[in-house]
């Protein structure tokens, strides 16, 4: 019998994580880089509608966001390795599977599983373990962070996302990434392990791409956005290339 904390293992396919889907977006009003103490924690969940152990983890992610407004940035990556086992997840992507594999390699593991939660790119555990998640978030919140700020700039009918990154806190090279997410979705699953269930999702990642590199002196990026269509949130975060640790993040509602 499957419990909500049961790990679902799959062999890692050691493809290079890259080729992430492009897109962009932002918020309404410019603001200064937040003080270090207020920097939010990024919580990633690797999940799938084809996995019966995943719905409890999806609920944990939603609860973490609700309990920590402004303090937690959730990102739900729907992997694709369940798609051939009875149900194709409409939000799944091979790129998200590759991202999960990159974490596995960085942590010295040779497999991936669902549901897996990763906090600030550092600590991983079974995604339905709410107490572990809360402990990991509390620990991550105490770590020094690179300041990140996002705003929308509008000129005529065109909008762009302005991203300001403070001086990096690490000597290790770090990427600046932009993720675009849908805040919520509900799907009626017709087949597979969750057949007959309506599944609710939070923070569904629709695109992710590298927009620049963090520097010792700080940096600013301007990214055009579509004013009419697209996901509901933009998240920018700084992630170290080797360790995969996330050292700063910010989010805006589109």
Residue 161 maps to a domain: yes
Give the position of tokens 């269509």: 229
Give the position of tokens 């897996």: 116
Predicted TM-score (pTM) of this structure: 0.84
What pLDDT shows up at residue 169? 86
Q: Could you give the CA distance from residue 218 to residue 204 in angstroms, rounded to a whole number?
A: 29
Q: How many domains does the chain have?
A: 1
Residue 1 maps to a domain: no
Q: Could you give the CA distance from residue 32 to residue 151 in angstroms, rounded to a whole number?
A: 9
- For all residues of the chain together, what is the average pLDDT? 85
36 pLDDT above the threshold of 50: no
Question: Which letter does DSSP use for residue 23 in this model?
Answer: -
Instruction: Identify the CATH number of the domain in which residue 144 sits.
Output: 3.40.30.10
33 pLDDT above the threshold of 60: no
Q: Specify whether the CB–CB gap between 97 and 80 falls below 8 A.
A: yes
Q: Which residues span the domain enclosing 81?
A: 8-253
Q: Could you give the CA distance from residue 254 to residue 118 in angstroms, rounded to a whole number?
A: 25
CB under 8 Å, gap of 24 or more: what pairs does 13-17 form?
Answer: 13/97, 13/101, 14/101, 14/105, 15/98, 15/101, 16/98, 17/95, 17/98, 17/99, 17/101, 17/102
Q: How wide is the angle at C-alpha 79 spanned by C-alphas 133 and 44, nearest 5°? A: 25
Residue 76 maps to a domain: yes
Residue 111 maps to a domain: yes
How many Å from the N-terminal Cα to the C-terminal Cα in the chain? 42
Q: What percent of the chain has pLDDT over 70?
A: 83
- Tell me the β-bridge partners of 126: 116
Residue 238 maps to a domain: yes
């Amino acid at each position: 019998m499957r419990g909500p904390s049961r790990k679902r293992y799959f062999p890692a396919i050691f493809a290079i994580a890259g080729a992430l889907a492009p897109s962009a977006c932002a918020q309404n009003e410019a603001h200064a880089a937040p003080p270090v103490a207020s920097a939010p924690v990024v919580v990633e969940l690797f999940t799938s509608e084809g996995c019966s152990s995943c719905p409890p983890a999806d609920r944990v992610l939603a609860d973490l966001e609700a309990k920590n407004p402004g303090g937690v940035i959730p990102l739900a990556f729907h992997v694709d390795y369940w798609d051939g086992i009875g149900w194709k997840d409409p939000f799944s992507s091979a790129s998200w599977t590759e991202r999960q594999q990159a974490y596995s390699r960085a942590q010295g593991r040779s497999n991936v599983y669902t549901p897996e939660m990763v906090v600030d790119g550092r600590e991983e555990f079974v995604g339905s373990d709410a107490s572990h998640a809360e402990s990991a978030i509390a620990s991550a919140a105490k770590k020094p962070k690179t300041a990140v700020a996002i705003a929308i700039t509008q000129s005529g009918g065109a909008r762009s996302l302005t991203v300001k990154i403070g001086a990096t806190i690490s000597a290790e090279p770090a990427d600046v990434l932009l993720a675009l997410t849908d805040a919520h979705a509900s799907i009626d699953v017709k087949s597979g392990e969750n057949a007959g269930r309506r599944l609710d999702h939070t923070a569904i990642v629709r695109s992710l791409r590298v927009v620049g590199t963090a520097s010792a002196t700080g940096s600013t990026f301007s990214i055009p956005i579509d004013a009419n269509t697209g996901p509901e949130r933009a998240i920018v975060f700084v992630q170290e290339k080797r360790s995969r640790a996330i050292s700063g993040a910010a989010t805006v509602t589109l």
